[in-house]
């Protein structure tokens, strides 16, 4: 019975985490307008907070699950190109995240992880954009995205530094109460 309860708990938890990631994505797309001094389409990536949290306790599989949910959401709300951009940036940054999360607290903070993930996300999106458009010159856009990735990745990491202890405590306490 415990296996069933644990499986049901994990399904419910991933459902909640997926919903939180979608809410943060929706918030960014609706309430955070494109600013003229930022690269076109640049958003802070707040939903990556959920991906980072998921990777910290569920590993690569859980983090990829959240990334796939976000890409599917991009597909149904903004189309194929948005989904491909989300997926290419998301997979690359999620793999980097899962490699680096092992060093969190030892040699690396969530701020450093957030910055690297934001850079990797932008690299994945730029590569996808170059393939879709057939134009390698889009790589030149990377220098603008790099500056934004430094700021947005630091912001995401800073937020996670604040909320991660509470998130971990809540999830761990719930798991311990179940067993």
Q: How confident is the model at residue 4 (pLDDT cuts 50, 70, 90)?
A: low
Reported as a single tens digit per residue, the pLDDT across 163-174 is 888 877 776 666
Q: How confident is the model at residue 93 (pLDDT cuts 50, 70, 90)?
A: very high
* Mean pLDDT within 111-136: 92
Decide if pLDDT at 77 tops 60. yes
Decide if pLDDT at 175 tops 60. no
pLDDT at 123: 93
Reported as a single tens digit per residue, the pLDDT across 27-45 is 887 777 776 666 666 777 8
Decide if pLDDT at 97 tops 80. yes
* Mean pLDDT within 75-81: 91
Give the phi and the psi of residue 44 in degrees, each rounded to 5.
Answer: -70, -15
Domains of the chain: 2-178 (1.10.1760.20)
Percent of residues, the chain, with pLDDT higher than 90 = 41
Residues 6 or more apart whose Cβ sits within 8 Å of residue 74: 25, 82, 83, 85, 86, 87
Which residue matches tokens 């996300």? 121
pLDDT at 142: 84
Which residue matches tokens 């309860």? 5
From residue 138, give the alpha-carbon distance in Å to each of 20, 61, 123, 131, 143: 32, 31, 11, 10, 10
pLDDT at 81: 92
pTM beyond 0.85, yes or no: no
Average pLDDT of the residues of the chain: 85
Q: How confident is the model at residue 154 (pLDDT cuts 50, 70, 90)?
A: very high
């Amino acid at each position: 019975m415990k296996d069933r309860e644990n499986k049901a708990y994990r399904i419910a938890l991933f459902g909640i985490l997926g919903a939180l990631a979608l809410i943060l994505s929706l918030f960014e797309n609706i309430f955070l307008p494109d600013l003229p001094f930022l690269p076109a389409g640049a958003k802070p990536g707040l939903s990556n907070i959920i991906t980072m949290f998921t990777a910290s306790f569920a590993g690569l599989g859980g983090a990829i699950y959240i990334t796939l949910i976000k890409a599917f959401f991009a597909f149904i709300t903004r189309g194929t190109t948005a989904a491909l951009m989300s997926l290419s940036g998301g997979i690359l940054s999620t793999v980097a995240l899962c490699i680096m999360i092992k060093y969190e607290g030892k040699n690396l903070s969530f701020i450093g992880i957030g910055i690297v993930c934001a850079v990797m996300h932008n690299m994945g999106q730029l590569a996808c954009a170059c393939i879709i458009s057939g134009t390698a010159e889009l790589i030149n856009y990377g220098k603008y995205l790099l500056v934004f990735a430094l700021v947005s990745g630091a912001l995401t990491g800073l937020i996670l530094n604040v909320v991660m202890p509470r998130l971990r405590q809540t999830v761990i306490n719930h798991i311990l109460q179940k067993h």
